[in-house]
Structure 1
Amino acid sequence: MDFGDDLVPGSDAHRRKKRYHRHTPRQIQQLEAMFKECPHPDENQRLHLSRELGLEPRQIKFWFQNRRTQMKAQHERADNCFLRAENDKIRCENIAMREALKNVICPTCGGPHSGADDYFDEHKLRMENAHLKEELDRVSSLTSKYLGRPITQLPSMQPLSMSSLELSVGGLGSPVALGPVLDLDPLGGSSPFQLPAPVSEMERPMMAEMATRAMDEFIRLAQAGEHLWVKAAGGREVLNVDTYDSIFAKPGSSSFRGPDVHVEGSRDSCLVLTSAIALVDTFMDSSKWTEFFPTIVTRARTIDVLVNGMAGRSESLVLMYEELHVMSPVVPTREFCFLRYCRQIEQGLWAIADVSVDLQRDARYGTPPARSRRLPSGCLIADMSNGYSKVTWVEHMETEDKTAINQLYRDLVLSGAAFGAHRWLAALQRACERHACLVTPPHRDIAGVTLEGKRSMMRLSQRMVGSFCASLSASQQHRWTTLSGPGAGVDDAAGVRVMVHRSTDPGQPSGVVLSAATSIWLPVSCDRVFAFVRDENTRSQWDVLSHGNPVQEVSRIPNGSHPGNSISLLRGLNASQNSMLILQESCADASGSLVVYAPIDLPAANVVMSGEDPSAIPLLPSGFTILPDGRASSSTGSVVTVAFQILVSSLPSSRLNAESVATVNSLIGTTVEQIKAALNCGSSH
């Protein structure tokens, strides 16, 4: 190998390399001492230092120049912080004065104050504003000089309040009748998803302070006793809002909330089969966060990394966006822009705190969205030194739902169970068990299939479940349309919702895809419904596409401690189905259950079983979500969502007609009726 002339003595490259010199600690110490006495040494002083330290006078000269530049930058930075604090103080005083003027009462008549003093109050405000602008211009000038680039001015600060939140929450379209041609154009699409802009340099200290306060409040909530938390139905711990307001009195408490604001606070704890470090890494990564909680998190993004702590963990602060859902098109999603702050409290004990921030979202949807705000929440993670961690989860939020919640899910949502700590921890336990199985799949089960083949099958199934959960979101990006027909508008049925989109993502069939879903209430327990729809022996009783033919389970991979948590390959027993298999995953936890399936052909199955990368295998998943109804008067009811996805055309430019919609409407209606008949629910349910 030719290294050029770098190693040739006397060459230019060699001379340039020799010119580099790192000062010793002793040299730096003496230079610093001299700098404190005389920052501008003359030529004689530099010569004396060069002889004493063994450096060239040129090196001494450059060191002092660099040190003076560094000191100047430090002073400018300190001035910048001081002026920013003064600027914030003046702005807050200005806002307080404006609010006080609105509420001034005349001492004589008790009415609104008016008179000559108004002129002086207004004049004082104008003087304050002028002074404020001068200070802001000075801070901007210093900051731009320090950063070496111009900066935009800081937008006016507003206190955290529900009225300033612009977090878009999904809603449902109004019902339409099934006509000759439906306006379901996948090319029209929905508004593109847009993240807020990264945080400006001047906003970072304010957000850091907000995150620190949120961390302190969260730790107090996580460790508080019975005075703050009360037992609710099912043994769940629910926040005593009145007590909370009396302890944490501040804007946002009961005296400041609007009449339509609903408060949800819950706490739960459990052991999970994962180390504390692995959980911290998962929670601080938005991609892993979405992958870990597909049944709750529709999507998540990291908007900005404000502080990158040690190894991305302790003292890390990030600004994130997330959208939460209940896996049904009839329940509005909840969106949050929030700060996530991670801190290692002591060896083996971590705290992660979340708190919403007010970031204006564009009003591209035409109507004001429903509002959601996360108050200080998070989790304490204690490493148990045996592969397990103890997690204490606190979920605390305020919502202002302008969109009516469907009757089927009203009790579940308003009780706080739909987005509460109990559901998060149940999903976390299941995800940790699944991850453990993915790392070390069980050796029992399929003869002749390698561990790599089982991992490949589990990765393919994980993608299938994630795609299915995302397809059920009631996000503003999804244009669900309600079809009129049997069950629409009835208390125990939500009617059929349809949505069409153009599929171009890798791992999905290319073309126009029609999604259809409906939610129904059944007077049977979640466990009974789950056991029925996941069992291959009863599949022919509800699967319309099997035409009553039985199926056989050809392989099965256990996927958790629950006996129903597994991944299976199913094969139809009639001759026409020999070329296709069905990949199915079933999973259940304390908050509900899920059965998802998708057809795959034999070549794709062989790719999976051989342990190859399954990311290119196209999947179009369908399935069921089964949730408790949340009714206090009944513990045996369940809310079941049935969802199908069908490739209408492989041509992306195709348009959907009423015939395709009518077909899928009939398909989903027949499936629902067969499930009711098999579970002895009767047509009235």
Structure 2
Amino acid sequence: MFQPNMFDSHHSFDMSHKTPEDDLDMLRDDDYESKSGTDIMEAPSGDDQDPNQRPNKKKRYHRHTQHQIQEMESFFKECPHPDDKQRKELGRRLSLEPLQVKFWFQNKRTQMKAQHERHENTQLRNENEKLRSENIRYKEALANATCPNCGGPAAIGEMSFDEQQLRIENARLREEIDRISGIAAKYVGKPMLNYPNMSPHGPTRSLDQGVTSFSPQQGMVGEMFGANDLLRSVSGPTEADKPIIIELAVAAMEELIRMAQVNEPLWIPSSENSSETLSEDEYLRMFPRGMGPKQLGLKSEASRESAVVIMNHITLVELLMDVNQWSNVFSGIVSRAMTLEVLSTGVAGNYNGALQVMSAEFQVPSPLVPTRENYFVRYCKQHADGTWAVVDVSLDNLRPSSVSRSRRRPSGCLIQEQPNGYSKVTWVEHVEFDDRAVHNIYKLLVNSGLAFGAKRWVATLDRQCERLASVMANNIPSGDVGVITTPEGRKSMLKLAERMVLSFCSGVGASTAHTWTTLSGSGADDVRVMTRKSMDDPGRPPGIVLSAATSFWIPVQPKRVFEFLRDENSRSEWDILSNGGLVQEMAHIANGPDPGNCVSLLRVNSANSSQSNMLILQESSSDSTGSYVIYAPVDIQAMNVVLSGGDPDYVALLPSGFAILPDGPVQYQGGIPEVGTGGSLLTVAFQILVDSVPTAKLSLGSVATVNSLIKCTVERIKAAVECLREEGMQHLGKAMFTHLLKQSGRSQERT
């Protein structure tokens, strides 16, 4: 019978073959990696060391023969990472100890890495000089340019809203558009500088068709499941389109600022809660030019949210204008993104005036909600009061042949500098979308604006800023506990967890890169599956990976579901792999003041003595718009390297986990939540290695077993949360009873 191969040779947890010398060698890898050449230090094990030996005694070195070096060089070309058996065989043939062979290969890998870095640095220096020369040439050309209208200098620095503040509003805007369009028509069409955030292969998340791979230099996980890529098929703008794009961007910037700053009558506050709605009539009156009327068949959604986040305003602008950082930080919302063309890199060494044509897909973490694909321009501007603004606006009118299911009206954020490195962010989301393909259980969430609205963007940014502050900590905060003893080990573990989360988010939604197949069942409990072949990817084990996901509604508040799933003490109630074993938290890294936002290293002590223990890396995160509990089994030896500060990019991971969303806005009746509201939309997703041979064919037995695994997990969760629901109803009953008593007391007082 097939068994889910989540712990193959890359995830083996059998510790019976390990010796104390192996553990010591693992922890000393960084020391030996720093050696190079053929001088190999012989490191005595702890048992061989003389306790009376002086600490500064000269170490012994061995010089290999030319024959030994040639043989190991030849073997290195075929296999740079020999295992224990290969090292022993090579040592026997060359009359060397296995440890000597091991150290030689470690030094050789370090030497090759250093050579590669030197070559890369040389290329980067040459490219930098080329860019500097190009930059000087373009500055000189623009300095000598003249305006075609007035004959005066055409300095980009003059292109500002702020210099036109004393003019009448419509005349000011018209003049600004005319001036920028004139300069754009003459100069933007010239070859531009290569943008620093772009590469010939697109963004870091690979968008190529077929199987992709992860490069540790990229800093982000690659796209998990390859398919026909709609984003890459979108071409950049033509020369004739560029003046129109400039006009749209300038008008969108003006609209965003007013949308963010004006209250009533444009925004109508709600009396039931703190939300507000956009007055469509007032919007059309204030912005008659805009993008025109709403397209037939599309719904309109507008929202606004403000918050103070723990990030410097300049850093935040750079994050939004770098497509890799942007899609990384908002990985739960942005499934894929790329920059198609850069029309302007900005002036004065920053992003002021930067203009990019982009394409992106926005998602909800569930295969039941279609993604929203947008082709848009992003414009960044610094205003006279120091406020930065970044605005997006769709360019669908430049693609008349395409049928858009989503259109992005001017949306983005205003960023104001605050004391102590904080920033105040005011976010506006204004889109038109087609919700006909959204599953019924998600329609209330989507139509309420909680799925794609400004509140979710701001809540995600706030939580991610807290996480980034935790990553940049130079010491180990008092809230961290467990086996982490160095700041380097802490950073490595956080980096590994980040890659795990990115991989999970890139494979759980309904991206156009995914081809989901429904296995069985009916309604929202259908299990959707997709496969990929993993080859030459150090971030994942090689073979056939099967991803299975299902989404369903449960009548329990999201916070209670999140606390239940992230708690190691309740893990045995739903986790089939733990098999009733005791789960112990070995390490804990806090990612902000909320105790639910953390990275944990869990050890599952098997109840069966014949089975080996295993380690699980887990990251849990929660905010007002949703929660995640994401985890992945990790190899014990690989985790030891990470905890000692080693490179986590080569640790193979297959993340699984949960995405927990509210079922819609909570409705209030008489000051308390109505009975029946406050439920959760839960997505359960697994990634499982079903065959370690990438060229093998997927068997029906493997699919059936994975289907049974996810359904069994869902049944366990439903049974467990039913108890939570009963507890919640008891709590709600007490709250209602207390409320009625208070109301009765007030009535008697009035009488």
TM-score in terms of structure 1 length = 0.69
For 2:724 and 2:598, how far apart are their aligned partners in 1?
30
2:686 and 2:561 map into 1 onto residues whose CA distance is 18
Structure 2 counterpart of 1:650: 692
Deviations 1:579-623 (A, max 9, x none): 531000001001010000000011111111011111111110000
Stretches of structure 1 lacking an aligned partner (at least 5 in a row): 1-69, 81-138, 149-185
Question: CA distance change for structure 1 residues 75 and 638 in 2, over 3 Å: closer, same or farther?
Answer: closer
Identify the range of structure 1 (621-630 vs 573-582) with the bigger mean alpha-carbon deviation: 573-582
Distance 2:397 2:286 in 1: 27
> Map of 1:33-432 to 2, 5 A cutoff?
189-191=227-229, 193-232=231-270, 234-250=273-289, 252-253=291-292, 256-310=293-347, 311-358=349-396, 371-401=405-435, 403-432=436-465
Q: Which residue of structure 1 lines up, in the alignment, with residue 112 of structure 2?
A: none
**Cα distance in 1 between the residues matched to 2:231 and 2:482:** 43
Superposed CA offset, 1:297-349 (max 9, x none) = 11111111111113241111111111110010010000111111111113542
Change over 3 Å in CA distance of 1:362–1:546 after alignment to 2: farther
- Could you tell me how far 1:78 is from its partner in structure 2? 7.6
Q: Which residue of 2 aligns with 1:526?
A: 558
Deviation at 1:659, TM superposition (A): 1.1
Q: Deviations over 1:458-477 (max 9, x none)?
A: 00000100110111120121
Secondary structure, counterpart of 2:645 in structure 1: coil
What's the offset of the Cα at 1:681?
6.1
Q: For the structure 1 residues 280 and 601, does the alpha-carbon distance in structure 2 shift closer, same or farther, using more than 3 Å as the test?
A: same
Equivalence for 1:503: 534
Conserved? CA contact 2:476–2:486, under 8 Å: no
Q: Which sits farther off after the overlay, 321-330 or 258-267?
A: 258-267
Q: How does 1:507-586 map to 2 (within 5 A)?
A: 507-574=539-606, 575=609, 578=612, 580-586=614-620
Cα pair distance change 1:350/1:259, threshold 3 Å: same
Structure-2 change in CA distance of 1:448 and 1:642 (3 Å): closer
> How far apart in 1 are the matches of 2:300 and 2:225?
39
Deviation (angstroms), 1:281? 0.4
3-state SS, counterpart of residue 527 of structure 2: strand
Contact 2:357–2:378 (Cα < 8 Å) also in 1: yes
Which protein has the larger Cα radius of gyration, Structure 1 or Structure 2?
1
Deviates further, 241-250 or 441-450: 441-450
Tell me which residue corresponds to 1:478. 514
Code of the residue aligned with 1:216 in structure 2: it is E
Q: What does the per-residue CA deviation read over 1:538-570, in whole Å, with 9 as the maximum and x for residues that have no partner?
A: 000000111122211111111112111110111
Distance across 1 between alignment mates of 2:502 and 2:519: 26
User: Quick one: distance in 1 between partners of 2:639 and 2:235?
Assistant: 44
CA distance in structure 1 between the partners assigned to 2:278 and 2:341 by the alignment: 31
Deviation at 1:385, TM superposition (A): 2.1
Per-residue CA deviations over 1:160-205 (Å, capped at 9, x if unaligned) read xxxxxxxxxxxxxxxxxxxxxxxxxx99954575153333344322
Q: Report the counterpart of residue 467 of structure 2 in structure 1.
A: 434
**Structure 1 residues 645 and 359 mapped into 2: Cα distance closer, same or farther (>3 Å)?**
farther
Compute the displacement of 1:637 (Å).
0.5
* Structure 1 residue 652 displacement after superposition: 1.8
CA contact (8 A) 2:605 2:613 kept: no
Map Cα deviations across residues 239-258 of structure 1 (whole Å, 9 max, x no partner): 222221222224755xx334
**Residue 619 (structure 1) aligns with:** 653
Measure the CA separation in 2 of the matches of 1:304 and 1:296.
Answer: 22
Q: Distance in 1 between matches of 2:298 and 2:704?
A: 40
SS state at 2:696 partner:
coil
Distance verdict in 2 for CA 1:315–1:550, change over 3 Å: same
2:485 equivalent among 449, 462, 465: 449
Instruction: After TM superposition, give the deviation of residue 404 of structure 1 in Å.
Output: 2.2
Paired residue secondary structure (2:702): helix
Equivalent residue number for residue 19 of structure 1: none
**Post-superposition shift, 1:259?**
4.1
The answer to whether the 8 Å contact 1:468/1:622 transfers is: yes
Contact 1:571 1:577 in 2 (8 A): no
Work out whether residues 371 and 510 of structure 2, in 8 Å CA contact, stay in contact via their aligned partners in 1.
yes
Change (3 A) 1:346 1:682: closer
Whole-Å separation in 1 of the counterparts to 2:225 and 2:421: 49
Mapped to 1, the partners of 2:243 and 2:294 lie a distance apart of: 27
Contact 1:309 1:315 in 2 (8 A): yes
The alpha-carbon distance between structure 1 residues 79 and 205, as it changes in their structure 2 partners (threshold 3 A), is farther
Q: Which residue of 2 aligns with 1:101?
A: none
Q: Match for 1:511: what amino acid?
A: G
Asked if structure 1 preserves the Cα contact closer than 8 Å seen for 2:225 and 2:514, the reply is no
- Which residue of 1 is the match for residue 502 of structure 2? 466
Q: Does 2:680 align with 1:638? A: yes
- What root-mean-square deviation, in Å, do the aligned CA atoms of Structure 1 and Structure 2 show? 3.1
Counterpart amino acid of residue 407 in structure 1: N
Query: Is the deviation greater in 313-322 or in 451-460?
Result: 313-322
Structure 1 pair 349/187, CA: closer, same or farther in 2 (3 Å)?
closer
When residues 576 and 223 of structure 1 are mapped into structure 2, their CA distance, relative to the original with a 3 A threshold, is farther
Deviations 1:229-248 (A, max 9, x none): 12356522322222212222
Percent of pairs with identical residues: 48
C-alpha distance 462-587 of structure 1, shift in aligned 2 (>3 A) = same
Which piece of structure 1 moves more, 579-588 or 197-206? 197-206
After superposition, what is the alpha-carbon deviation per residue over 1:415-442, rounded to whole angstroms, capped at 9, x for unaligned? 1111000000000000000000000064
Please tell me whether the aligned partners of residues 315 and 342 of structure 1 are also in contact (alpha carbons under 8 angstroms): yes
The verdict on how the C-alpha distance between 1:399 and 1:581 changes in structure 2, with shifts beyond 3 A counting, is same
Shift, 1:405, TM fit: 1.1
Residues 193 and 477 in structure 1, CA contact (< 8 A), matched pair in contact too: no
Equivalent AA in structure 1 for residue 600 of structure 2: S
Distance 1:577 1:370, change over 3 A: farther
Task: Provide the C-alpha distance between the structure 2 equivalents of 1:147 and 1:279, rounded to a whole number of angstroms.
Answer: 30
Which residue identity is paired with 1:502?
K
Give the distance between the partners of 1:587 and 1:147, measured in 2 at CA.
46
Q: Deviations over 1:453-512 (max 9, x none)?
A: 000000000010011011112012100011222xx22xxx34111111122444122221
Secondary structure at the aligned position of 1:643 is classed as strand
CA contact (8 A) 1:214 1:355 kept: yes
Supply the distance in 1 between the matched residues of 2:146 and 2:403 (Cα, whole angstroms).
46
What secondary structure sits across from 2:577 in the alignment? helix
In the TM superposition, what is the alpha-carbon distance from 1:443 to its structure 2 partner? 2.8
Match of 1:48 in 2: none
Checking the alignment, whether the CA contact within 8 Å between 2:629 and 2:657 is kept in structure 1 is yes
